[in-house]
Amino acid sequence: MVTDILLAPPLAFALFVLISFTIDRVGNTIASDRADAGEAFRTAWASGEEPPESQGRPRYRLYHVGIGFTIIHVAVLLVATIPIDANGAILGVPLLAVVGLALFAIVDAGRPQPGR
In a domain, 84, yes or no: yes
* Residue 97 confidence (pLDDT): 92
Q: Could you tell me if 78 and 116 lie in one domain?
A: yes
Q: Could you tell me if 34 and 68 lie in one domain?
A: no
Q: Which of 62, 64, 61, 59 is nearest to 105 (CA)?
A: 64
In a domain, 16, yes or no: yes
Contacts of 58 (CB under 8 A, 6+ apart): none
Please tell me the distance from the alpha carbon of residue 89 to that of residue 49, in angstroms, as a whole number. Answer: 58
The pTM of this model reads 0.44
In a domain, 65, yes or no: yes
With vertex at residue 60, the alpha carbon angle to CA 56 and CA 63, rounded to the nearest 5 degrees, is: 160
75-99 residue pLDDT tens: 989 888 888 888 888 988 998 999 9
Q: How many domains does the chain have?
A: 2
In a domain, 114, yes or no: yes
Residue 96: CB atoms within 10 A of its CB come to 13
Phi, psi of 88 (to 5 degrees): -65, -40
11-69 residue pLDDT tens: 889 999 999 999 988 887 877 655 555 555 555 555 656 656 666 666 677 777 888 89
In a domain, 45, yes or no: no
In a domain, 78, yes or no: yes
* Residue 20 confidence (pLDDT): 95
Residue 25, domain extent: 1-39
Q: Which of 57, 59, 94, 54 is nearest to 75 (CA)?
A: 94
